[in-house]
């Protein structure tokens, strides 16, 4: 076995519609095709891949996954990213990575999941 990339993250959310809107408005993910599972959910796509799987109504202590802190996405266009978040009314914080041409923006989804957006300033 050899790993090649991360496939997706699954996020348990209390309000599926609210989480769908957040990931579309804040990050630009596209709500797309999802198998007909027997529970509510959505698959959110980026560049031809479903990278965020939302599961509705299942974040009230139904599972314990340990110490997961955040999910990070590579991003482009620092100013455009800031503008998109401001337009959507989503608070964020920023930091520069010391010694690297990397700038990070952090947001929190409606259920408290931390999301890091990494913008390579050398690109």
C-alpha gyration radius of the chain: 15
Beta bridge partners of 11: 54
Q: Residue 4 falls within a domain, yes or no?
A: no
Q: CA dist 4 to 28, 65, 73, 99, Å?
A: 24, 23, 16, 28
CATH of the domain at 17: 3.10.180.10
Q: Does 54 reside within a domain?
A: yes
pLDDT of residue 27: 94
87 — pLDDT class (breaks 50, 70, 90): very high
Per the structure, the count of domains in the chain is 1
pLDDT at 66: 54
Structural domain range at position 36: 9-59+69-120
CB 104 within 8 A of CB 7: no
Q: Give the pLDDT band (50/70/90) at residue 62.
A: low
pLDDT at 101: 92
What is the reported pLDDT for 64?
A: 60
- In this structure, is residue 3 part of a structural domain? no
Note the pLDDT of residue 20. Answer: 95
Q: Residue 79, Cα to own-chain centre: how many angstroms?
A: 19
């Amino acid at each position: 076995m050899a790993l090649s990339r991360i496939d997706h993250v699954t996020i348990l959310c209390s309000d599926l519609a609210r989480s769908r809107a957040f990931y579309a408005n804040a990050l630009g993910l596209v709500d797309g095709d999802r198998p007909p599972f027997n529970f509510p959910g959505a698959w959110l796509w980026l560049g031809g891949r479903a990278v965020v799987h939302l599961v509705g109504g299942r974040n009230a202590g139904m599972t314990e996954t340990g110490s997961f802190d955040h999910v990070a996405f590579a991003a482009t266009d620092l100013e455009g990213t800031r503008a998109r978040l401001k337009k959507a009314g989503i608070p964020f914080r920023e930091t520069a990575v010391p010694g690297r041409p990397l700038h990070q923006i952090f947001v929190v989804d409606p259920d408290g999941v931390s999301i890091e957006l990494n913008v390579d300033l050398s690109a």
